Structure 1
Amino acid sequence: MFNKLCIIGVGLIGGSIARAARENKLCTQVSAFGREQDLANLQQALALQVIDSYSLEMEEAVTDADCVIIATPVGAMPDILQQLAPYWSEHVLYMDAGSTKGSVVEALGIIFTTLPDNFVPAHPIAGEEKSGVDAALVDLFQQKRVILTPCAQTDKKFLQLAKQFWQGLGSSVSEMQVAQHDTVLAATSHLPHIMAFALVDLLGRKDEQEEIFKYAAGGFKDLTRIASSDPTMWQDICMANKQHIIPLIEQLCSELETVKHMLQDNQAQALHDTFTYARNARQRFLDQHNNMNQSITFTIQPGGHLQGQVRVPGDKSISHRSIMLGSLAEGVTHVSGFLEGDDALATLRAFQSMGVKIEGPENGKVTINGVGLDGLLAPKEPIYLGNSGTSMRLICGLLAGQKFDATLTGDKSLSGRPMRRVTDPLAKMGAVIESTENGTAPLTIRGQSNLQGIHYDMPIASAQVKSCLLLAGLYARGETSVTEPTPTRDHTERMLSGFSHPVKQDGNKVTISRQGKLVATDIDVPSDISSAAFFLVGASIAENSDLTLQHVGINPTRTGVINILQLMGANIELFNQRIVGGEPVADIRVRSAALKGIAIPEEFVALAIDEFPVLFVAAACADGTTTLTGAKELRVKESDRIQVMADGLQILGVDAQPTDDGMVINGGSIGGGTVVSHGDHRIAMAFSMAGLRTTAPIVIQDCENVNTSFPGFVSLTSGLGLNISSEEG
């Protein structure tokens, strides 16, 4: 990638960058810069063949370099940038490797009139207890995450170059905003180091320190390991990021004060609950950490097509509800076509934790031994729902009427998504639900049986909110009714009727009461139209495509994607239409077509809310301009789907302009490049389909969550003609 790489600060990080860059053939030569007091370290780096040359003069060190990386402690960064400024070249990529980013950007702003567009702030999440160049490792960055925090001025050309460099070192690259980075790292890195230093300082000053250290077990060693880190480096980090660290210290002190009162007041159960939650939270961290270290990257080569016949996985919405209502029914419910994705499995495990015996899934078959409306048992620990917003919002409604307390938790993405849209109307019914100050998970639902039916006019159309309130209505006195501004998916109403519970429908108003019971039934889950949508778009935009999708659910509250594509000129034919288990299904044939840009009618937005990531790809391939409005909900899905899709399309050369509640896309050709899905399964699959029309390969990072809705996506699409490969890293 580079002829000459210059490292400023050849310690553990700088030396490891040099070793890895040389090993992976990313540069021809490595130079280094250091101060007079660094001379011995520089000589050691040269002797170890970590670098090819060094200089104590900045000009000499950076001359002819086409990449310069500052790997000094963050406290030294302003002085280094000041020395570097006279020799700054607009053709060179500059990066740092510091643990804080705000202080670096601030220093750049002071030294330069405007922030340089060729500086990319970078933070490799990697390190060792030892420091110095002799501790440098060639594989330090292998399977480690590197966070880039580009500014508004950062040139995408240099940002892409930075990504390619760190990926070449074996790292998984993510992007964050500067302030977000410093806030997150204060909690996950800086505060733990302060705690370790403080604990060792506390115990080391005690009179009996020799006895303490003599009998300290492995737990003390593990807890305080990071106190072996370089004090100067951590002094600089803490001072640079103190605005984010100090509030965390205050929160930690409050938490410790709470534990102290538990001990003083002999609150053994409260202490046990705290420790149990912490243990489960740490296990989730380990699970997520392992997933991160085995991140999945898709690569799509251009020139593919889609041909043949296929049945895509079962409908996720119906799979969720089959578990929920089957668990509350009287008798045994048999489900076939169940989606064995992570989200639906999270719902299944949740009801198992509340005492429901569920067998399977095996080849899409699940047997649920219902316990009746009043048969759920208190879970022994918080219910972890992973990434599934549907699980959390719907189960919240069911738990509101139980007689026991329960806590719902999720992964980082789910924990950042809004829950007030369900907790506020549930509170009007009498539910007692505790959440964070921002109204996000974890949610603790207090057991009580005083729910009162209400009428709720939904301000924004949402099937999840409607379903949550209807499920709570199974336990409320009187009638519970919901009126929606525009129709949304009605799987809950259909399935309640299928389980023999009375539901009244009057236009956009649906009403339920606790009068009645759920009777077990058999459910054949149709293929998910949200999963089929990727193929509807893919076969439309790829030449020589002719694909038939079998047994697809065509519930009229879900067919917005078909309506929109047909308005764009897609060649879509529905045949063999029938009713299965109360749900309309059909086989769908789709063939290549010349799409045109349209203004998407707002009445179709709620009917296609989950399909817009791939519809944006269709718009990018269409002739003319496509405009979407009225879709603000897309900003609070698994990711901000408006911004993430706009960013990705722009990387691929598409004129995609995000708006507050939608996007304006000027269609045309799509180029290649590397995009990040931000852990959003629909983003990853949408860009996979874009590969059918690109002029160069697409690399899609962070694709592991595709399994939440579409297990086997890569093998299935490859068999149909998409030139896709998957790599774990």
Structure 2
Amino acid sequence: MQKINKTSNSQAQVYQAQPLIKAQPLFQQVCIIGLGLIGASLAQAIKDNGLSKRLVAVDRYAPSLEAGIEQGLLDAGGLTLSEVITGSDLIVIAVPVQAVEAVFVDIKGVMNSGQLASDCIITDVCSTKGNIIAAAKAVFTTLPIGLVPAHPIAGAENSGYHARRAELFVNHSVIICKLPTTNYMSIIKLRQLWEAVGATVMAMDAEHHDSILAHTSHLPHLLAFNLVEQLASHDDNLDMFRYAAGGFRDFSRIAASDPKMWHDIFFANQSAIVSALDEYSVCLQTMRQLIIDKDSTALMGLLGRAQAARRHFGHMLASTPYTDISAMSASYVISPSTTVTGTIAIPGDKSISHRSIMLGSLAEGVTHVTGFLEGEDALATLQAFRDMGVTIEGPNKGRLTIHGVGMNGLKPSKTPLYMGNSGTSMRLLSGILAAQAFDSVLTGDTSLNKRPMERVAAPLRQMGAVIQSTGTSGTSPLSITGRDNVGKLLQGINYDMPVASAQIKSCLLLAGLWADGTTTVTQPEVSRDHTERMLSAFGYEVTVDGNRISVEGGGKLTGGDIAVPADISSAAFFMVAAAISKGSELTLTQVGVNPTRTGIIDILKLMNADISLSNETHVGGEPVADITIRSSNLMGIEIPESLVPLAIDEFPVLFIAASCAQGRTVLTGAKELRVKESDRIVVMAEGLQTLGIDCTVTEDGLIIEGKGIEGNGTEINNSQPIFGGGHIVSHHDHRIAMSFTVASLRASQQITIEGVETVNTSFPGFAELANQIGMAVQVDSGIDNSIDNA
């Protein structure tokens, strides 16, 4: 009895979000037919959550009924339906699929005798639906108006009444099959029941359900049984099983399931399973032939796509990060520190990593990439091209091998292309996809789907593209119609950009590679030119005349070697960290110093920062250098608007530098900051004010009253705290989170930053590197490891 009480207490914690349901039961009496794992677990969940005034059960195994009554789970139990059914307004059928028709016969009998109302809700938990509906028609002729076929996608290795777990359905899906004959309120009440026990409910027609389950559940079980039988039939079967590796044990685990149950399922869903098996046989023959032919590229592409797809679709459906699910809803807890020192390497440049995937995929031949940034955003781009048929080996410690398919070799993705949180991926890919022969859909996570996409869609339409954005705000998902359905090529245009934006410029230049004629983009200010440089590196001619950049359509790209330098946007956090802290000297090795990206260096120098460059060279067509920065007496400045496009991503951390400077810093001409992952002007201002900094938000910038004190002569006076402590909400913006981490170097108290899981979008390993140079960053994943989440 003690164990039952413990389970009940545990469930009170899990389900405390549904107190309303506990106060108002959904049903007068629920009858569970079959007290196996699923039936008994649902009974326990109903009991723990107070979803029914009474709970009764029918089972052929009397000891299960006796245990249920003795332990207080059931109010009554019987070997036949007529013993307990009176007063029931919900029946849950939890028996093997082949036994369901006999249960329907019993239900019809108690309806005819007047023990059960004809509109009672009747549902099931079976993994096939077509045969359930057929059985009901065979028994009732006209389907009962309360019949709602359902299937919880949940289970466990152990079975039977004593294996029950009330939390079995938490965070699992339940499929409800709506029938035209069903009373609508029956569907509503059943949905409420499943949601109350923690499940996510979705609607699906019965035929589609059986097809999906045939592929995702029934086929894997069939293959597992068959593989074990194959090995057991060998003459040396003892050695086969003795030396079986972990992969075999993992795959064949499901062959330990109940043979009678699966025998019944395979016959019940015969048509869909045979179809899935035929499809699998074709795919297996394809792989067999690739091995016979020793077609390394094609086999590597197939294996790579399969490996990535297993992870990708889970992240896409849940809108979670690629690199670390455990970091969701994570926070930084940072204790004040004063000094940073050392020599460190910064991860690869995100902008160049994106473009290496895109152009390498479109090139003829093989492209080898080193220094690739294995962050969320770049991985989204990589996955998109895998989805379009490109074979990509890696990433492995920053190394990729891309087997280019040429300018016209991309294939349509079978699903929407998921960009995660990457605006760069979505905007640049829009230009590429607008010129393809096939239709495409681009989507992202909740944050990305709020960001403006008309800024690329509108000029692409001027080139003849057919693009549909979403809603009145012109956001994603984006639907792009291919030229095969439009009937014409894109046309080159002359486009005057209203704002300097490397993403818009790159989108149009990439579309121009397929356009008829010349595409010319004129920008009001210089913006980063990685696309132009990399196109040239791949052998595509680009004409640059001041702020006018042009490409002629119809050329080709040739694969080669791309070395990705360290990302100056990521280096910016450590540059500011060294400048504002006491007695610090930090060297960042081989950082990209493309002149269209060095606004952070120029602005810090104007603020009197002590920065020097050494070991200057070129890597893959991009200039790189070691950057050394030391403690500095920073001065407030009016930031020249000409430098704004060259430092647009670095302003959050520059706001930290301005807070530590002597005097006022004024930023104007930075309206672009308001449509990033967050409104970075407002969010940074809120955080600065939380930490005690006076600042004023303007329409296109920010005014910050620095709290730095003038040094005496050459003395560096940056030892006193500038910031207080407090709780910062990053709005899941990676640059906001990292910027306020830097602020801890001049804080008097602990700073907690909420929502740092997105740091992996641009800077995996940021916290570890910060601690390596002397900071004190603790990552709180938000997961209570004391709770068994199995």
Q: TM-score with structure 1 length normalisation?
A: 0.64
Question: For the Cα contact (< 8 Å) 1:315–1:553, is it kept in 2?
Answer: yes
Equivalent residue for 1:175? none
Q: Alignment partner for residue 390 of structure 1, among 412, 424, 427?
A: 424
Equivalent residue for 1:407? 441
Equivalences for residues 124-273 of structure 1 within 5 A: 130=49, 207=119, 209=121, 211=144, 216-219=149-152, 227-228=192-193
Equivalent residue for 1:686? 739
Question: For the Cα contact (< 8 Å) 2:326–2:781, is it kept in 1?
Answer: no
Equivalent residue for 1:443? 478
Q: Deviations over 1:205-256 (max 9, x none)?
A: 985755465673335976656624999xxxxxxxxxxxxxxxxxxxx99x99
Question: For the Cα contact (< 8 Å) 1:129–1:229, is it kept in 2?
Answer: no
Q: Alignment partner for residue 686 of structure 2, among 618, 630, 647?
A: 647
Q: Alignment partner for residue 316 of structure 2, among 284, 291, 296?
A: 284
Distance across 2 between alignment mates of 1:564 and 1:368 = 37
Q: Alignment partner for residue 353 of structure 1, among 384, 387, 397?
A: 387
Per-residue deviation at 1:667? 1.3
Identity across matched positions, percent = 56
Question: For the Cα contact (< 8 Å) 2:526–2:646, is it kept in 1?
Answer: yes
Equivalent residue for 2:750? 697
Does 2:369 match 1:339? no
Q: Alignment partner for residue 629 of structure 1, among 650, 664, 668?
A: 668
Equivalences for residues 286-435 of structure 1 within 5 A: 286-288=318-320, 291=325, 294-435=328-469
Q: Secondary structure in 2 aligned to 1:574?
A: strand
Equivalent residue for 2:572? 533
Distance across 1 between alignment mates of 2:664 and 2:361 = 48
- In 2 relative to 1, CA 461–205 (structure 1 residues): closer, same or farther, beyond 3 Å? farther
Q: Secondary structure in 2 aligned to 1:459?
A: coil
Q: Deviations over 1:546-572 (max 9, x none)?
A: 000000000010000101111111000
Question: For the Cα contact (< 8 Å) 2:174–2:194, is it kept in 1?
Answer: no
Per-residue deviation at 1:298? 0.5
Q: Secondary structure in 2 aligned to 1:326?
A: helix
- In 2 relative to 1, CA 517–728 (structure 1 residues): closer, same or farther, beyond 3 Å? same
Q: Secondary structure in 1 aligned to 2:500?
A: coil
Q: Secondary structure in 1 aligned to 2:559?
A: coil
Q: Secondary structure in 2 aligned to 1:692?
A: helix
Q: Alignment partner for residue 513 of structure 1, among 548, 552, 561?
A: 552
Question: For the Cα contact (< 8 Å) 1:304–1:723, is it kept in 2?
Answer: no
Per-residue deviation at 1:403? 0.2
Q: Name the amino acid aligned to 1:699.
A: T
Does 2:777 match 1:724? yes
Q: Secondary structure in 2 aligned to 1:367?
A: strand
Question: For the Cα contact (< 8 Å) 1:130–1:229, is it kept in 2?
Answer: no
Question: For the Cα contact (< 8 Å) 2:515–2:554, is it kept in 1?
Answer: no
Per-residue deviation at 1:577? 1.0
Structure with higher Rg: it is 2
Question: For the Cα contact (< 8 Å) 2:468–2:479, is it kept in 1?
Answer: yes
Distance across 2 between alignment mates of 1:213 and 1:342 = 47
Equivalent residue for 2:768? 715
Question: For the Cα contact (< 8 Å) 1:327–1:372, is it kept in 2?
Answer: yes
Bigger shift: 521-530 or 304-313? Answer: 304-313
What residue ranges of structure 1 are gaps of 5+ in the alignment? 1-11, 21-37, 39-126, 133-203, 232-251, 260-279
Per-residue deviation at 1:337? 0.4
Distance across 2 between alignment mates of 1:205 and 1:230 = 25
Q: Name the amino acid aligned to 1:428.
A: Q
- In 2 relative to 1, CA 128–314 (structure 1 residues): closer, same or farther, beyond 3 Å? farther
Q: Secondary structure in 2 aligned to 1:607?
A: helix
Q: Deviations over 1:659-709 (max 9, x none)?
A: 111101111221110101111110110000001111111100100000011
Does 2:558 match 1:593? no
- In 2 relative to 1, CA 129–531 (structure 1 residues): closer, same or farther, beyond 3 Å? farther
Question: For the Cα contact (< 8 Å) 1:336–1:365, is it kept in 2?
Answer: yes
Per-residue deviation at 1:535? 0.6
Distance across 1 between alignment mates of 2:750 and 2:190 = 44
Q: Secondary structure in 1 aligned to 2:373?
A: coil
Per-residue deviation at 1:295? 1.7
Q: Secondary structure in 2 aligned to 1:558?
A: coil
- In 2 relative to 1, CA 445–209 (structure 1 residues): closer, same or farther, beyond 3 Å? same
Q: Deviations over 1:279-309 (max 9, x none)?
A: x999635353995984211111112321111
Distance across 2 between alignment mates of 1:324 and 1:229 = 44
Distance across 2 between alignment mates of 1:293 and 1:218 = 31
Question: For the Cα contact (< 8 Å) 1:532–1:552, is it kept in 2?
Answer: yes
Per-residue deviation at 1:656? 1.8
Q: Name the amino acid aligned to 2:481.
A: R
Q: Alignment partner for residue 539 of structure 2, among 500, 517, 524?
A: 500
Question: For the Cα contact (< 8 Å) 1:131–1:230, is it kept in 2?
Answer: no
Per-residue deviation at 1:596? 1.1
Distance across 2 between alignment mates of 1:327 and 1:667 = 47
Question: For the Cα contact (< 8 Å) 2:319–2:446, is it kept in 1?
Answer: no
Equivalent residue for 2:492? 453
Q: Name the amino acid aligned to 2:768.
A: S
Question: For the Cα contact (< 8 Å) 1:129–1:226, is it kept in 2?
Answer: no
Distance across 1 between alignment mates of 2:174 and 2:47 = 15
Q: Deviations over 1:583-617 (max 9, x none)?
A: 11111000000111111110000000000010011
Q: TM-score with structure 2 length normalisation?
A: 0.60
Does 2:759 match 1:706? yes
Question: For the Cα contact (< 8 Å) 2:516–2:554, is it kept in 1?
Answer: no
Q: Secondary structure in 1 aligned to 2:402?
A: strand
Per-residue deviation at 1:576? 1.2
Across the aligned residues of Structure 1 and Structure 2, the Cα RMSD in angstroms comes to 3.1
- In 2 relative to 1, CA 206–605 (structure 1 residues): closer, same or farther, beyond 3 Å? farther
Question: For the Cα contact (< 8 Å) 2:429–2:507, is it kept in 1?
Answer: yes
Distance across 2 between alignment mates of 1:469 and 1:710 = 28
Q: Secondary structure in 2 aligned to 1:684?
A: helix
- In 2 relative to 1, CA 476–722 (structure 1 residues): closer, same or farther, beyond 3 Å? same
Distance across 2 between alignment mates of 1:208 and 1:652 = 61
Distance across 2 between alignment mates of 1:376 and 1:456 = 27
- In 2 relative to 1, CA 222–560 (structure 1 residues): closer, same or farther, beyond 3 Å? same
Q: How many residues align?
A: 497
Q: Deviations over 1:508-565 (max 9, x none)?
A: 0000012421011101100000000001100000111100000000001000010111
Equivalences for residues 541-690 of structure 1 within 5 A: 541-668=580-707, 669-690=722-743
- In 2 relative to 1, CA 309–222 (structure 1 residues): closer, same or farther, beyond 3 Å? same
